[in-house]
Structure 1
Amino acid sequence: MAAVLPTLLLILAGVLVGGTWSLYRHGASRGAIVITALLAVLATASGVLWLLPGEGS
Structure 2
Amino acid sequence: MGAALPTLLLILAGVLVGGAWSLHRQGAPRGAVLITALLALLATAAGVLRLIPESGS
**Does TM, scored on the shorter chain, surpass 0.5?**
yes
Long gaps (5+) in structure 2: none
Q: How many Å separate the matches in 2 of 1:33 and 1:15?
A: 13
Cα root mean square deviation, aligned = 0.8
Q: How many Å separate the matches in 1 of 2:35 and 2:55?
A: 32
Long gaps (5+) in structure 1: none
Give TM-score scaled by structure 1 length: 0.94
Q: Which residue of 1 aligns with 2:25?
A: 25
Residue 8 of structure 1 deviates from its aligned partner by 0.3
Task: Report the identity percentage.
Answer: 75
* One-letter identity of the residue aligned with 1:12: L
